[in-house]
Structure formats: C-alpha cells, structure tokens
Structure 1
C-alpha cells in the first residue's frame, strides 16, 4: 500500500510502531520493520551506550529502515543526533518538538525528522522548521496526551500543513487505516496495539492486564508526572489520585534517584533536562519534579512485571484488543483489511 509516508521513508506499508519507553527495543522494532512497517526505538529510557548497542542489534536483525525516538531536551541530545547520522538511521522522531537547529542538522545528515504533536499550532511550527512529516496524536492515545479527539485533530492538521501527516490515537485495525487515509493522512501510528504483540518484551502478566481492560478502564491523570497522562485505571493510579502534593513530591524525588541509577545519568544532566522540560512545557517546579515519576513507574510495570505497583500507559483502544498477534500478522491484517474496505467503496 503506497502513500506519501511509504515513499518518504522507504517502507512497504503505512504503519508506524511508536517509540514506547521500556517497550520499543530491537526485537519489536526489527519485527515491525521486517513486516514492512516503520519501527521506532525508544531511546529516552536508554543510556547512550545502550542506544549504541540497540541500534547495532536492530541493524543485525533487519536491513529495513527504522527510526529512533529522541528527547530534544536531553543533556546529550546533540551527541545522539550525531549517532543517528553516523549509523545511517532513517528516521528521528520526537515526543516534544525538536529545536530548529536539531532538525537542520538531522536533515543535513540524511535523517528524516518526524515529530509527534497534539495541536495544529505545534504541527505548523515544526513544519515551518523543516520537519519531513508529523505524527498527530488525538486524546484517545496512551501516555502523554491532549484533549482533542483524533477525528477532529487529524483533519485540522491535514488542512494546515503541506507535509505528510500520520494519524495516532485510537488505531488498531484496517478500518482505522482506511479512515485515516480518507481523512487525508499518509498512514497510522500505534503504540498500545504494538505493545500487545508476540514480539513485545512486556511480561505476559502485564499483557493480560491490558487485554482484560474495557473501554472505560483508562483514565487521564496529572498525578503521575504533573501533566495529562492516559494510563490504565489501577489501584496504584487511584492511590496517586488521592495522594497529597507533599507526599507525591517525595515519591517523585525517590524515583528520580532510581532513574538516575538505572540509566547512569549524572545529577547535573538530570537537572539540566529538568530545566529544559520546565521551559518547554511551561511547568511549575513541583510539576517538573513530579515528571521524575514517569520512567520508574512505567519500568516497574513494563519491565519488572508488576502491574499493581507500576503505571501502565494505555490508549483507550486497549478496551478493544483481545489477542497477541505477531507484528507480521498484525500489519498484514491491517493492510489487507484496509485494501478490502477501500476497494468496496464506490
């Protein structure tokens, strides 16, 4: 299925697997790439040496194009940008808007830049700075999310920019791909659906927790890291919702120390990143400290397999998922179903 996205990136199908922290490693990314989609490594939860090793392993597993998700505000962002250029990574994606100079350097080095945005204003901004395409995530999406539904945000962005637009938030099958193409998108991006595949490294007990959830079993909370975050409604999340601000800040500081130990980041690096996050998102210092909660609470569930002591980022689509296909089975089904639907339309 050829679209502006497939022509731009060089993949066979207009399906993107997003860069989910602790989840999108070489195994999942290479399986997505081999199946014809665009897999994206999540580097925000990796140290620099871990990212080097992850790119090397992904290269060993597949010759197809893949991407790496970067944090524009990371203390070593410039070094990671150079790594992508040196290793010939096809795509750099960003959860927060990259700086104009980062986009310029990546493009000069032959790397495509595809940021994720949640508003028309942000889409226009990164397009004006030279982004090659943009992923637009509606409020149905998991993790950090906005309040505008994909069905309204997507056409608004398609009408506002002249670069390929990839739709995210609420997609899981060929019907969604067909609908996104009808809106004018060049493809779809999925996180939760790829988290629930055979190649996903998430422990089986955690996958079962996702599969048992209903459509009403996610909640958007600010108590995880100070900004709206869509997660599964668990006992821990309900406890966090009742937690006072002082206790929440102490919990966040403990998690910041754990994250520093797990990733090898220095304290000055974390402080610099905290200041950058605060400026970029317009947060208070309390919210910035709370942001330290996210990596370790996600790790507790997604890596350690403790769904009751961690946080499970989840799109609303989790309430419709019942199986764990391989990436090849998933992408083949999506594309086949979308082709059939589009072929039956008058």
Structure 2
C-alpha cells in the first residue's frame, strides 16, 4: 500500500472505526510529518504508521512518530530489533508482519506487542504459506495477540480468522475499492473487474515474491524469469512501476499489487460503508454458527 495508504484513506478508515496505517515506504521525514498532520486534521481517532525497514531513514521516521504522538507501528521487510528500545521507551506498540511461524516466534521473543500473520493470498510482497494454516499455527506458537492477513475481504472471512484464534484482521486490497482511496480510475476499475484468478506472483525464483494483478509487465517479467534473466534485468523492468500504477494510472506497465480475496468485491463504497458491511456480516456469521454444533 506504499503511495496508496495515505492521509485520505487513513483518515477515512479511522473515522469509520478501523485502525488506518500510513504506509511510509518511500517517504522522507518531512513527508511523513505532513501525512500525519493531514490525518489529524481529519480525525481525532487513533491511527498508525507502517515502516518498511529496508529504508535508510527509519530512525528519522521514528523520531517524527514520537514527536507526533503516534502510538502504534507495524513493520515489514526486516526485523525491528534495532529500534525496539527507542519504540518501547516511547510507549509505541510494535506489530511486525511475518510470513511464517519461525519468524513469529522470533518476534515474540523480541517483545513485540502483537503479530500480523500474513498468508500468501495477500497482495504485494508475500511468503510461501497460505493464510489458514499460517494463522492457526502462529496462534499456537506465540504468546501475543495475532492479527490475520491475506485474502480477507469480507465479514465472513473475518469470522473464519476469529475461529482460528486471531484477535483482528489486516485488510489492504479491499480498501483499493474505497471511494477515498487515492488510486486513479483505470487501476480501481481493474480491481473491481478482478476475480480470484486475476493475480499472478512474480519473483518466486529470487525469493522476493510479489502478488499483483496480471498485465503486460507481469507477463514479460514471468517470461524473463522463466528464461533465467538476471536480477538486475528484472529489477530494471519493475523500476518505477508502482509509481506508474498509482500516479500515472498505467495498468499495463504499472505494479497493481492486489490480493486474491478481491474477487468478491464488485462496487465502490465509502470507508464507512465498507466498515459497516464488514461488521454486520461478521456478527451475522458468528450468530449463524452458534446453533450449528455437530455431534
């Protein structure tokens, strides 16, 4: 959700009752501060920051978070170990995203506050384990609350994760269809048209797998990958591709990261409508199961 989960979407999600996260990937400290101030202008409800730990300015971003009174951070693309003392001293709750049980245990030992177990049905960078077996095994393996992610796009899916022991869910692709989402027309229409077969995974060979909506770029990438192209050549093909999708609305050579659950979403709704529908279906699903005990 880098370049997508910005103040417009985060503020609307927070106002609707969810915990929105600013995706700080690619941002400078000044840009992050501006995004935080814009969200604060929209809502007085809590929201968090996502840190992509491969970036070189993480310490500066954390300083901004502390100065602006942010209380929750999710992390990806690395371990938050080096930053834990500073984050905990500022009473910031740390929630890393993990793709397997081994890393979940390491994060638990590190003293994080919760763990996001993200299955390979998710959009963007993914691991190798599907959501159902991952969530259940992580729940059994760690002592902190587990948040489920990957392929979750409605209230019934939320209820399924609840049954597995998750205490919450993370959703990204669903909010690509929010009216407040800052992606442009062609990208959003591609998401609405997608079914469960519309995504492909690139980067399996290099172990940097990414799930995206299929287009000309992904077709070329997979062909080059199959033919043994170098990592440099593959990186050259995707350089700037997220920007092309989000800002130039280029749906053929842009990276449209999206998860498999999006096939069940066929209309634009406000964040308030999305959250209301999610919670109504979640509660209805739980209620419908209370009398269905198999003896």
The two structures have a TM-score, normalised by structure 2, of 0.92
CA contact (8 A) 1:40 1:69 kept: yes
Residue 160 of structure 2 corresponds to 179
> How does 1:1-346 map onto structure 2 within 5 Å?
20-222=1-203, 227-243=208-224, 249-250=232-233, 252=235, 293=238, 296-344=240-288, 345-346=290-291
Q: CA deviation at 1:251?
A: 6.6
Instruction: Please state whether the residue corresponding to 1:38 is helix, strand or coil.
Output: coil
Distance 2:259 2:26 in 1: 20
Flag the 1:120–1:250 CA change in 2: closer, same or farther, 3 A: closer
Aligned-pair distance for 1:318? 2.1
- How far apart are residue 246 of structure 1 and its match? 5.8
**Do 1:104 and 1:130's aligned partners in 2 also have CA atoms closer than 8 Å?**
no
Q: Is the 8 A contact 2:202 2:221 kept in 1?
A: no
Report how far residue 205 of structure 1 moved: 1.2
Superposed CA deviations along residues 59-80 of structure 1, whole A, max 9, x for unmatched, are 1111111011112232211111
CA contact (8 A) 1:39 1:67 kept: yes
CA drift of 1:300 comes to 0.4
**Would the aligned equivalents of 1:96 and 1:117 in 2 still touch at CA under 8 Å?**
no
- In the TM superposition, what is the alpha-carbon distance from 1:224 to its structure 2 partner? 11
**Contact 1:96–1:115 (CA under 8 A) maintained in structure 2:** no
In structure 2, how many angstroms separate the alpha carbons of the residues matched to 1:245 and 1:47?
36
Partner of 1:258: none
Task: Tell me by how many angstroms 1:210 deviates.
Answer: 1.4
1:226 Cα shift?
Answer: 6.2
SS state at 1:215 partner: coil
Displacement of 1:39 = 0.2
Cα deviation, residue 234, structure 1: 0.9
Change over 3 Å in CA distance of 1:73–1:239 after alignment to 2 = closer
- Runs of 4+ off more than 3 Å: 223-226, 244-248, 250-253
Equivalences, count:
288
Question: What SS does the aligned partner of 2:45 have?
Answer: coil
- Structure 1 contact 224–240 (Cα < 8 Å) conserved: no
Q: Provide structure 1 residue ranges, at least 5 long, that are not aligned to the other structure.
A: 1-19, 256-292
User: In structure 2, what is the equivalent of residue 263 of structure 1?
Assistant: none
Higher relative contact order at CA 8 Å, sep ≥6: structure 1 or structure 2? 1
Gaps of 5+ in 2: none
Q: How far is the alpha carbon of 1:248 from its aligned partner? A: 6.3
Question: What is the alpha-carbon root mean square deviation over aligned residues?
Answer: 1.9
| Deviation per residue, 1:167-187 (Å, 9 max, x gap) | 001111110111111111001
Cα distance, 1:155 vs structure 2: 0.4
